[in-house]
Structure formats: structure tokens, C-alpha cells
């Protein structure tokens, strides 16, 4: 039976008495329709392969997925069929796959990332993704499925819903080399309303930075003060500075060589020191105990300092600065250098970014140029 499908009409479609199911075909999109059963109504697509074989593909449950989303998915599949693809063949092949739970956890365990990111992603995976999609095969999950999962997570936490999609998109990119990524399709679909995280662009003014640096001079906690000064003068991450080893410091060349195993950056990166940053490290080298391993040792000389939050909060309070996190120092560093006339790629190089795509696309910046840019921060603050 032919009918112009919409959300309202699909929900009202009846099952004729005495029948186990009924197919209602859409008048707008060939092959698209709704199969009404005794308990559920399902959006489907019927098509013929190039070999002339008839196929039926389930798209989603009426009421869970919107009619327009199901229609768009049907049109997308028809385009693939026109090119010779057979989505039902992919489903049959997927039977040999592990579940998303198996595949996602295996990838996650082997995937290098920062500890804080790993902790956050693990929580999102276990709390949201596995309950929603864990029993499915990765290759059978569609953009429509992700939409359903997204809406469910969004009802609890919009931010975690966005994180869930980012995790899935990264997962699919790694295991399929970007050839199949329904999560990316979902992210790029502007017709789907998504949660917007509150944009947080906090950059300290030059006067605020100078006030903080002046406050550091009066603090009895000079180790924490030195660590925070280096954040301002290097643009490094707090974990990189607090965990800095003396064997990574080359005072002759004026560089720091930092090990990093994250996703976005290379395994090692070199930061060039401004004169003020170098002076801080030279002074700390003179004051360090013989055989010291870390630039900022922990209490009683064991390990390295791990927290600086209380010091930062106190300095901000005394200077009348509110709502600024210590990681905002990194944004402050890059923003002021770019505002002073340096290019974004030059500043990125100075901060140790090593994105392969960027380095392939642009000419490498000479080391002496990076040294010059690093020195410029002294003039700003």
C-alpha cells in the first residue's frame, strides 16, 4: 500500500486484521517504507542489487528514529547500491566480527592517550556506549543508530553525549582507515541538533599576567612559583613542567626535550627556551640537590611535584582574577604571540606541535626562527 510517510502517519499505520505484518511503501522515495508488525513498526528499504537480487534493509524503529532521518538514510543506501554496493552483504560479513564491546575495548586498551583523557573516555564507554550499542557489530551500526544512542545519552549529559560520538569517530577512523565512519557522518550532519558545549575561551590580559608574575615574586612557595612561571614562558602543559626531568633540559642549547605518547603530537617534542625561562632553570639547577632527577621534586625528594592548584588559586584570588584555570595559561601564551604578529603555524611549532598533516602541508620552520619566537614572550609579559 502506498502512503506519504511522515512521523505522524508512520505512527498511525494500522496492522490489518488477520495479518502478521504489512508493508506500507512511501510515495516519495522508491523502496522506502514501513513494515508494521504486531509489536513494532520498522522503517525499511527494499532494493535490487546489480545482480538482480532483491534485498530488504532495516533502517530503524518508528518513533525512535524520525521519518526524515530514516528517509535520508534510505537515500544514502540507494546511492551506494547504485555504485554496486550491497549493505545486506556487509551485514552478513559482520557476523564474523566481534561485538562493539569487544572491538571498542580492545582498541581502547591499545590506544595511546593522556591519562586524564583515558579516565574520561573509559567512564563514557562503560556508562553510555556499551549499554547503548555494546552488543552490536561495528559494521552494522548506522548514523541512525548513533542518533538514538546520542539522544539517550544527551538526556543525562549533553557533554558526555558529544564525547561518546568523538570516541566512536576516533575508533572507526582507526579500525577502518576512515573508509566507514557513521559517527563522523553523524557529527558532520548539520541538520541534526546537537548539544553545544559552553565555549570557554579564557585568555589572560597582559596586565593580569604581569600582576600574577609580581605576586609570584612575593610567594614563599617559590618552587610552585617557578613551575607556573615556566608555564607562562614556554606554553607547555602543566604535566610536562611538573614532571620535567633534568636529563630533558639542555641549558647549553636552551631547549627542553619532552617525551609524549598522546594522539595529537609526536613521541618527542623540543621546546625552545626564552631567556627568562632559561634563567629560571639555570637558577634551579644551581639550587638542586646533587643527583636530583626532577626539576620540581616532590616532598622529601620522592618523585616530582604533582599539584599546583592551591598555589594558582591563591595567586588568582590575590590578584582579583576569577574563572581562570591553570591550563588557560597555554591559551594565553599562544594567543598573545599570535596577536603580536606571529603566525599560528609558527607559534604551534614553538609550542612543540607535530601534527603530521600540518608538517606535510607547510614548510618546516627553521630552528633558529622557533628560538626567536620563543624569546618574544619575554617582551610581552
Q: Which three cell numbers stand for residue 247?
A: 636529563
Residues 6+ apart with CB under 8 A from 283: none
State whether residue 112 is helix, strand or coil: coil
Q: In which order are the strands placed within the sheet that holds 32-36? A: 2-3, 22-26, 32-36, 41-48, 54-61
| % of the chain beyond a pLDDT of 70 | 86
Please give the angle made by the CA atoms of 193, 155 and 44, to the nearest 5 degrees. Answer: 60
Q: Beta 2-3 vs 22-26: how paired, if at all?
A: parallel
Q: Give pLDDT, residue 197.
A: 60
Residue with cell 558529544: 162
* Alpha carbons 59 and 76: distance in angstroms, whole number: 11
* Alpha carbons 270 and 274: distance in angstroms, whole number: 13
Q: Give pLDDT, residue 89.
A: 66
Q: Give pLDDT, residue 379.
A: 74
Q: Give pLDDT, residue 355.
A: 47
Position with higher pLDDT, 259 vs 318: 318
Residue 100 sits at φ, ψ, to 5 deg, of -60, -35
Using alpha carbons, list the distances in angstroms from residue 51 to 85, 134, 193.
11, 34, 39
Q: Give pLDDT, residue 200.
A: 56
On whether the CB atoms of residues 124 and 164 are closer than 8 A, the answer is yes
Q: Give pLDDT, residue 111.
A: 80
Mean pLDDT along residues 353-381 = 51
Q: Give pLDDT, residue 211.
A: 95
How many residues in total does the chain contain?
A: 381
In the chain, % helix, strand, coil (3-state, to 5) comes to 50, 10, 35
The domains of the chain, with CATH numbers, are 2-94 (3.30.160), 100-188 (1.10.150.130), 206-380 (1.10.443.10)
| % of the chain beyond a pLDDT of 90 | 46
* Alpha carbons 241 and 237: distance in angstroms, whole number: 7
pLDDT digits (tens, 9 = 90+) for 121-173: 999 999 999 999 999 988 889 998 999 999 999 999 988 999 999 999 999 88
Amino acid at each position: 500500500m502506498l502512503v506519504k510517510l511522515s512521523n505522524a502517519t508512520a505512527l498511525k499505520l494500522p496492522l490489518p486484521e488477520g495479518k502478521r505484518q504489512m508493508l506500507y511503501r512511501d510515495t516519495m522515495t522508491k523502496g522506502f517504507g514501513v513494515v508494521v508488525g504486531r509489536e513494532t513498526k520498522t522503517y525499511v528499504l527494499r532494493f535490487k542489487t546489480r545482480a538482480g537480487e532483491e534485498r530488504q534493509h532495516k533502517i530503524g524503529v518508528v518513533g525512535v528514529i524520525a521519518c526524515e532521518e530514516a528517509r535520508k538514510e534510505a537515500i544514502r543506501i540507494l546511492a551506494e547500491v547504485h555504485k554496486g554496493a550491497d549493505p545486506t552483504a556487509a551485514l552478513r560479513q559482520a557476523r564474523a566480527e566481534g561485538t562493539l564491546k569487544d572491538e571498542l575495548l580492545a582498541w581502547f586498551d591499545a590506544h595511546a592517550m593522556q591519562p586524564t583523557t583515558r579516565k574520561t573516555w573509559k567512564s563514557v564507554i562503560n556508562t553510555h556506549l556499551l549499554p547503548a550499542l555494546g552488543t552490536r557489530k561495528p559494521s552494522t551500526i548506522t548514523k541512525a543508530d548513533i542518533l538514538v544512542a546520542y539522544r539517550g545519552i544527551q538526556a543525562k549529559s549533553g557533554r558526555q553525549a558529544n564525547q561518546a560520538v568523538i570516541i566512536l569517530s576516533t575508533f572507526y577512523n582507526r579500525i577502518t582507515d576512515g573508509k566507514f565512519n557513521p559517527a563522523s557522518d553523524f557529527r558532520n550532519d548539520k541538520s541534526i541538533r546537537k548539544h553545544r558545549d559552553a565555549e570557554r575561551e579564557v585568555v589572560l590580559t597582559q596586565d593580569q599576567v604581569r600582576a600574577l608574575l609580581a605576586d609570584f615574586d612575593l610567594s614563599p612557595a617559590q618552587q610552585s612559583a617557578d613551575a607556573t612561571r615556566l608555564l607562562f614562558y614556554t606554553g607547555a602543559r602543566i604535566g610536562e613542567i611538573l614532571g620535567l626531568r633534568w636529563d630533558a633540559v639542555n641549558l647549553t642549547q636552551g631547549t627542553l626535550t619532552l617525551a609524549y605518547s598522546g594522539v595529537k603530537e609526536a613521541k618527542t617534542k623540543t621546546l625552545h627556551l626564552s631567556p627568562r625561562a632559561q634563567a629560571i632553570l639555570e637558577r634551579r639547577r644551581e639550587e638542586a640537590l646533587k643527583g636530583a632527577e626532577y626539576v620540581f621534586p616532590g616532598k622529601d625528594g620522592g618523585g616530582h611535584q604533582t599539584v599546583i592548584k592551591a598555589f594558582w588559586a591563591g595567586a588568582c584570588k590575590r590578584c582579583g582574577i576569577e574563572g581562570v584555570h591553570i591550563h588557560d595559561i597555554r591559551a594565553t601564551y599562544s594567543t598573545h604571540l599570535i596577536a603580536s604578529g606571529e603566525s599560528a603555524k609558527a607559534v604551534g611549532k614553538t609550542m612543540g606541535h607535530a601534527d603530521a598533516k600540518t608538517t606535510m602541508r607547510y614548510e618546516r620552520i627553521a630552528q633558529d626562527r622557533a628560538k626567536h619566537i620563543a624569546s618574544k614572550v619575554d617582551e610581552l609579559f
